[in-house]
Amino acid sequence: MSDMALNTAALPGDAGVQTLRAQAAEVFARTGLPGRRDEDWKYTDISRISATLGEAWWSPTPSELSETDFSGIEGLDAYRIVFVGGEFLPEQSDIPEGVTLQSLSALLADDADERSHCLFRLDESAPLFNGFLAANSALASDGLCACIGANVKLDKPLYMVHIGNSTSHILNGLMLGQGAEATLIEHFVGGDSNSAGLNNIATYLRLADNAGLTHYRLQMEGTKQFHIGRVEVKQAGNSRYTLHAVELGASLSRADIVVNLAETGASCDLNGLFVASGRQHIDHHTRIDHNAPYCRSRESYRTVLDGRAHAVFNGKIVVAEGAVKTDSAQSNGNLLLSRNAEIDTKPELEIYNDDVKCAHGVTVGQLDEDQLFYLKSRGLSEEEARQLLTFAFADEVLVGMDSKLIRRFIEQAAFSKLPNMSDLEGFLE
């Protein structure tokens, strides 16, 4: 990657945004992309991206798909917010009333109060900051910008679907006012298409006092696609954030989940499921900062890896000096179905006061022989027994989903991709 000059000239935004874009391009040219010498990227080699997409791998490309190529989550009643090839499609979308919600493209076209500026402003000192985020800020032209007012409880989820296999830079910002409640579903779909691109997504979430957000992040990109994501959450007093991150697709997918428990009593739950096979590479780096007293964090990640799949999980928790009565627990379970599958998992705790409760546990293993024998002794075939145990292992993180429809959808999608997991009829009762 020799020439790292991003061309931000023809992109939308007022003079202020243009300045911020230019600054981001500078940061990008200076810092470049993370390499294997960076501790946070030690196990994820991104040279695949430029090797596949070429020198100017960041240049947006159109999608070969259209919204009709994807039927959505069956039975889901939600506000649809549709993007194809990184572009918002208003005719296909259904925007809720009573909330401030528009696409970034629409906002940039008419940004009288400069609301978009905060989304483009980069903070190089932010945890897990990297060149992709700089590229996003320099090049993003669409996304979702929404403010959900104080005490508004959205009646239906916001369902943001990205139909792709293209290269795009998406920038989202969602703010929840005091006591507001909402569900956000980010769904990335690609299908079996042979084309490849890079989806580079940044999502900024802000929760005011007592706000509650449930966030589904469903990565089901096409098999050749690259996916780089960042979710940055800032939580005020007693707010609640729940993430269900599901990673099924893409050739290489990396997500940085950065949560700042900024005020007293905030809590977050991060749940993750990776199901990968072939040569897929999936990496989540999560970072939770306990910056205030009486905050609670829970983290539960599970991976099921087959073939030569490689997964990386890094769960870093930093408890600040003043963050007394911190209550934090993290668990990461990994099931390796093949000898060639690989997991690199690492919990990291940095604790700067004594008044904390932090638990963490990691397991890496194969299916349990005693359990297999038990099932077979009851008449289940070897294959059936293996399927059932694999399913049960993964499902443990999905039971936390409050939407049965999404859970069912993910179960189907996840297990139909593993060999011999097609007959799910009985499992899903």
Partner 1 sequence: MLRIEQLHASVAGKEILKGINLTIGAGEVHAIMGPNGSGKSTLSNVIAGRDGYEVTAGSVTYHGKDLLAMKPEERAWEGVFLAFQYPVEIPGVNNTYMLKAGVNAKRKHQGEQELDAMDFMQLVKAKAKLVELDQSFLSRGVNEGFSGGEKKRNEIFQMAVLEPSLALLDETDSGLDIDALRIVAQGVNALRNAERSIVMVTHYQRLLDYIEPDFVHVLADGQILKSGDKHLALELEERGYDWVKVEAEQAAA
Residues in contact with partner 1 by CB under 8 A are 368-371, 373-382, 384, 388-389, 391-393, 395-396, 426-427, 429
The residue length of the chain stands at 429
Closer to partner 1 by CB, 316 or 386: give it.
386
Backbone region of residue 200 per phi and psi (left: phi > 0; alpha: psi in -120 to 50; beta: other values): beta
Q: Rounded to the nearest whole angstrom, what is the least distance from the CB of residue 342 to partner 1 in the complex?
A: 25
**Whole-number minimum distance, CB 100 to partner 1, in Å?**
42
Q: Which is nearer to partner 1, 243 or 394 (CB)?
A: 394
Cβ closest to partner 1, residue 14 vs residue 396? 396
Q: Which is nearer to partner 1, 351 or 388 (CB)?
A: 388
**Cβ atoms 319, 357 nearer than 8 A:** no
Closest separation in Å from C-beta 69 to partner 1? 34
Report in angstroms how near the CB of residue 370 gets to partner 1 at its nearest.
Answer: 5
Cα–Cα distance for residue pair 188/227, rounded to 1 Å: 9
The least CB distance from residue 308 to partner 1, in Å, is 27
Query: Which residues on adjacent β-strands are paired with residue 349?
Result: 317
The nearer residue to partner 1, 70 or 427, going by C-beta atoms, is 427
Q: Which residues contact 146 (CB under 8 A, 6 or more apart)?
A: 99, 100, 101, 102, 158, 173, 174, 175
Residue 298 Cβ, how far from partner 1 at the closest point, in Å?
18
Kindly state the smallest distance separating residue 22's Cβ from partner 1, in Å: 52
- Cα–Cα distance measured from residue 133 to residue 201, given in angstroms and rounded to the nearest whole number: 8
297: Cα separation from own chain's centroid: 17
Nearer residue to partner 1 within complex by CB, 193 or 332: 332
- Whichever of 19 and 422 has its CB closer to partner 1, that residue is 422
Q: How far is the CB of 384 from partner 1 (least distance, A)?
A: 6
| Shortest spacing between CB 402 and partner 1, in angstroms | 18
Q: Whose Cβ is closer to partner 1: residue 164's or residue 333's?
A: 333
How many CB atoms lie under 10 A from the CB of residue 363?
11
Is the CB of 358 or the CB of 388 nearer to partner 1?
A: 388
Nearer of residues 97 and 429 to partner 1, judged by Cβ? 429
Q: Name the minimum Å distance from CB 400 to partner 1.
A: 13
**Nearer to partner 1 by C-beta: 155 or 382?**
382
Shortest distance (Å) from residue 273 CB to partner 1: 13
